[in-house]
């Protein structure tokens, strides 16, 4: 069959040619994360604006009567950072064909993320103030709550990934589902470190 005949018989769009070594799905996740960074940036801007304008150079922060549970948040930070290592373990395991390592890494990552989120909820109940108590309280819950929502979304993704891992849906040749979910989870972890330093330590 000639080339002209093959072109005539071909139906549908032409084969995709990538101009980069980065797959479209991974690139899409990076672009999504870039938009999320801008969202967090707007919340950080409000937080620092409130701190500078409403409290001045000689003012105390947080305001009198407000306590930031930095120790509990520090423990929570260690839990979330550990989950990044278990997520990396799961990712590297499937790339090497180690399904047991993949499943173990996914289960540990999910449990660590769930522990973080539950600890955050308990902290909210014990902290002693709510969003209606001064602008500090509003920005505190705004930043930590925004991150909590991202952790919840991440846990949902991890849950789906874990179920698929146990069903054998991933392999060294087809592991993009793990890689993309891992990129999002690492973003959640890094963003929490920024939130922790900004809200609890500075």
Please give the pLDDT value at position 57. 47
Please give the pLDDT value at position 9. 54
Q: Which of 54, 113, 95, 66 is nearest to 177 (CA)?
A: 95
User: What is the DSSP secondary structure assignment for residue 96, as one 8-state letter?
Assistant: T
Fold of 70-202: 1.20.120
Q: Residues 6 or more apart from 4 whose CB is under 8 A from it?
A: none
Q: Where are the alpha helices (DSSP H) in 127-172?
A: 134-166
Please give the pLDDT value at position 50. 79
Q: Whole-model pTM? A: 0.81
Q: Residues 6 or more apart from 121 whose CB is under 8 A from it?
A: 148
Please give the pLDDT value at position 172. 79
Please give the pLDDT value at position 11. 58
pLDDT tens for the chain, residues 1 to 202: 454 455 455 555 555 555 556 677 778 888 888 999 999 999 888 888 877 776 644 567 777 667 788 888 899 999 999 999 999 999 999 888 888 998 999 999 999 999 999 999 998 888 877 777 777 788 888 899 999 999 999 999 999 999 988 888 888 777 788 888 889 999 999 999 999 998 888 8
Please give the pLDDT value at position 173. 79
The token pair at 172 is 């060294």
CA distances 19 to 16, 23, 27, Å, are 10, 10, 12
**CA angle at residue 68 from 65 to 71, to 5 degrees?**
140
152 and 53 Cβ atoms separated by less than 8 Å = no
Please give the pLDDT value at position 13. 59
The token pair at 167 is 């069903």
User: What is the DSSP secondary structure assignment for residue 133, as one 8-state letter?
Assistant: S
């Amino acid at each position: 069959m000639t080339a002209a005949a093959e072109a005539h018989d071909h139906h549908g769009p032409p084969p995709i040619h990538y101009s980069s070594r980065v797959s479209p799905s991974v690139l899409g996740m990076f672009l999504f994360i870039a938009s999320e960074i801008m969202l967090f940036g707007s919340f950080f801007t409000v937080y620092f604006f409130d701190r500078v304008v409403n409290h001045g150079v000689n003012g105390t922060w947080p305001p009198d009567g407000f306590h930031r549970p930095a120790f509990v948040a520090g423990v929570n930070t260690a839990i979330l950072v550990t989950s990044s290592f278990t997520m990396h373990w799961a990712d590297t395991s499937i790339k090497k064909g180690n399904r047991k390592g993949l499943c173990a890494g996914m289960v540990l990552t999910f449990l660590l993320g769930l522990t973080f989120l539950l600890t955050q909820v308990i902290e909210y109940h014990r902290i002693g103030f709510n969003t209606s108590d001064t602008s500090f309280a509003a920005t505190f819950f705004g930043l930590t709550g925004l991150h909590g929502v991202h952790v919840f979304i991440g846990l949902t993704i991890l849950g789906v990934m874990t179920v698929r891992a146990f069903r054998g849906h991933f392999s060294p040749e087809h592991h993009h589902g793990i890689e993309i979910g891992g990129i999002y989870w690492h973003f959640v972890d890094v963003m929490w470190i920024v939130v922790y330093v900004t809200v609890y330590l500075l």
